[in-house]
Amino acid sequence: MKSNRLLLCIVIALAYCECCYGQWLEISNVKLRDEKTELAGPKIIIEYDVNDPNITESSPAYVFVRYSRDGGKTWRLIPTDGLQGNGFDMVDKPGHKQIIWWGTEQTSFTDVNQVKVRVRGLAMARIPAGKFFMKSLPGGGRDDSKEITPEPNLSLFYMARCETTVSMYADYLNEVGAEGAGWNSRMNNSDRCGIVRNEDHTYSVEPGRENYPITYISWYDAANFLQWCGVRLPTEAEWEKALRGGIYLDGDDTKKKPNPRPERRYPWGDESPNEGGVFRCNYDGEEDGFAYTAPVGSFSKFASPYGVCDLAGNVAEWTLDWYSTSHHAGLDGFRMVRGGSWMAVPAACDAITGATQLPLKESSIMGFRAVKGSPTSLLNVEYRTPNIQ
Amino acid sequence: MKSLNRRQFMKGSIGAAAAFAAISQSPVRGANDKVIIGVMGLGGRGTQLAEMFAQRPDVEIAYLCDADSRRFARAREAVEEAQNKRTKLVQDFRKILDDASVDALINATPDHWHGLGTIMACQAGKDVYVEKPMAHNVWEGRKMIEAARKYKRVVQVGMQSRSAAYAKKAKEYIESGKMGEINLVRVFNMMQHPRQKQAADQPVPEGFDYDMWCGPAPKLPYNPGQRWLNQWEYSCGPIPGDAVHQLDLARYLLNDIPCPKTVAHAGGVFSLKDGRETPDTQLATYEYGPLTLMLEAALWTPYMKKTPAEIRDSDLFPNWPFSATKIEILGTQGFMYVGRHGGGWQAYDAEGELVRSEYGRQGDKEHQDNFIDCIRTRKKANADVEVGHQTVLLCHLANISYRVGNQRLEFDSKTETFTNCDQANKLLKREYRTPWIVPETV
């Protein structure tokens, strides 16, 4: 029958919808429906609204969707290669969004009412493809696998405008942390990390700490959180380009917007963080207004040319890069950390100063942020904390 | 937006006055007194040592010092978290030496500062934990011994393998004679180092006292692409910097054999041709009469692995053929593998049958315990300055043989000079840069 060819059945389910607040972008009216087609198999349609007026082409939202088919016990990331529509990955306009989820296994739900989805959005900055000045190189020893040239050319990538926050991490823990994943013993002091682990193994944020950067996070914790989102840590080169800007801020494809200070020392320019009695980032001491970490974006006036906040100071940030692979470490080598911190002297909050840390280190001065860009193959790596007795 | 304060995170009181209350110095600390320590050099190892000592209930880290103030944060965070107390941050280590409340200095600087930093600390009445390799050159090592003895100071060298319990058991097994006469010992140090990057000299970054960092060494143009570890002016080289641990463990197992009669070196820069001065391949043969010690080391062997993390403090052994830091002891009646980093040891009889195995644990804590104990008792430390000198001497001899064209050199242990090569004797001591001069009379 003709009608059977077109659409056998449309099931509109008032599916479980869940909005995620805190430092995720506000996403509302999440709806899920199951459409069964005769030839193309089942598909799920997810609709939602994202109304943040700050979402633009240069400041898009990274939207990812996680689903559960067992009533919310376990959750998985929906792979973007099975999605169509205007509401996933980089979303560059606010409004009503639709995602069509094609798939064979995941979408063959016996009862769509049992399916739950969570849609989350992260504010990003677009960093166009092109050359920039890598001034930190060749400081310190680095892995041979890294291309090191004075003017490296990076392809397009997106970086989170803010450091990952306590509220984001607590949200993550509530999805994955029932068995203790993502949690470490140093977090048990909630004064330190800002998250309380409740007796029923749920997690709540200490009131007032929602917008502070998450700390006491090992490299593995950071990598796993980001993999959960479908993104990754920045490389050192990406981190430095996001801070300084490319030689052309609009990228090398158009070259219409030269960077006025392509060799700048800090995100805002060359002035020291406290020059002239103006406090441009969160470094050691209280004169900048913060004795410890500051809520992310507190110094947004002094963001990078792309609008990325707190690259200088607040918390130093894990990067994807190794320092070296074997010397001294014996464990997993050292990873590079960039950006200075609330405990660092102002000069250490510049574009070139880095520090090495063993990836197991959990510290009050280290956090991280997300990047979406190549090489995405890194997303397939399983980051497991070494079992050290 | 000031809803947080540091106390929420550090828990304890960190009032400056309380934190820096002076404790009167005494020659021997009472059992209940904390040992007050300053840490000089806040690189990876210095920060690690600062954190480990800060976690001890019998120690207070009062100072953190580095010529590069950009390094303060990492070490300070680790120390203040551990001891719930603030530390003083200084770029000039003489401020630590001037403080009478300080008992000891941890010297974890690059090699070129080990000697003078230790000597000045001894002169100031401080005990010293100095990282390996203990001295930049042979002459300097002897002056460190003289200073320690003259000022009656405890000097512990950071060669912690000899403090591990499994090393003592291995030593006892060898001394039991079950392996027969030990005629050959092979020490391995096979690593994977990155190439250093070629780049132009750069301005010295703000916050970095580069003149102080250079100290006794020449003030070469600032070029972070040239790693100090690969430059003779600042370093004994990356191979000695690590192999010195196994060399010291081997010396310990052989009852601290005195220095060899000859050294012959083979090797050079074979793989990492990146402008480095120090070799990436070092094969050294030391003759002691009936005993020959061989060092086999390289920086380009990715398949060779240091004792993995999961083995270091557990009941497991390394995969010996690919163990990067093993020692092989060959006797007339038996053979022994010994691993560094808690790798344990295994002994075989003349038939090649495994006859004894001992798992290991790393010796860091025992080594630090020993240092603190010696500060109180005034005994010599496990890796006393004389031990440190005799071990690093092996590194210096190999390097000097290499630097004079891989010549076989004969060494007189009494005069600590070479008897067959004037050119080699010129490399026993460095030129010191004013005002950072090691005096003839310490």
For residue B362, give every residue at least 6 positions away whose Cβ sits within 8 Å of its Cβ, in sequence order, or none: B160, B164, B312, B313, B341, B342
**Bridge partners, residue B345, by sequence:** B338, B358
Q: Identify the residue among A326, A335, A336, A352 best suited for mutation to test binding to B, counting B beta carbons within 10 A and taking the highest.
A: A326
φ and ψ at residue A166, rounded to 5 degrees? -60, -45
Residues of chain B with CATH 3.40.50.720: 20-161+368-383
Residues of chain B with CATH 3.30.360.10: 162-365+393-425
Nearest neighbour of A365 by CB, restricted to B3, B77, B193: B77
Distances in Å between the Cα of A221 and the Cα atoms of A141, A227, A289, B123 are: 25, 10, 29, 47
* pLDDT by 10s per residue, chain A, length 389: 333 333 333 333 333 333 333 489 999 999 998 887 776 667 889 999 999 999 999 999 999 999 998 888 899 999 888 899 999 999 999 999 999 988 766 666 767 777 899 999 999 999 999 999 987 754 344 444 454 566 788 999 999 999 999 999 999 999 998 888 999 888 888 888 899 999 998 999 999 999 999 999 999 999 999 999 999 999 888 999 999 999 999 999 999 999 999 999 999 999 999 999 999 999 999 999 999 999 999 999 999 999 999 999 999 999 988 776 444 444 456 788 999 999 999 999 999 998 888 888 999 999 999 999 975 434 444 444 444 33
Nearest neighbour of A388 by CB, restricted to B199, B305, B310: B310
User: How many whole angstroms separate alpha carbon A195 and alpha carbon A203?
Assistant: 7
Distance from CA of A342 to the nearest CA of B (A): 9
Catalogue all structural domains in chain A, each as residue range(s) with its CATH number. Answer: 10-126 (2.60.40), 128-165+211-384 (3.90.1580.10), 166-205 (no CATH)
Domain B20-161+368-383 grouped into CATH 3.40.50.720: yes
Residues of B in contact with A279 (CB under 8 A): none
User: How many whole angstroms separate alpha carbon A18 and alpha carbon A31?
Assistant: 9
* pLDDT tens per residue, range B330-379: 999 999 999 999 999 999 999 999 999 999 999 999 999 999 999 999 99
* Residue contact B309–A330, C-beta within 8 A: yes
Distances in Å between the Cα of B414 and the Cα atoms of A47, A74, B290, B292 are: 86, 73, 20, 20
Distance from CA of B358 to the nearest CA of A (A): 18
**Bridge partners, residue A269, by sequence:** A266
* Residue contact B206–A143, C-beta within 8 A: no
Q: Sheet holding B281-287: strands in order across?
A: B354-358, B345-348, B335-338, B327-331, B182-190, B292-298, B281-287, B262-268, B409-412, B417-418
Residues of B in contact with A389 (CB under 8 A): 310, 313-314
ipTM score of complex: 0.84
Residues of A in contact with B324 (CB under 8 A): 326
CATH topology (fold) of B162-365+393-425: Dihydrodipicolinate Reductase; domain 2 (3.30.360)
User: How many whole angstroms separate alpha carbon B110 and alpha carbon B402?
Assistant: 22
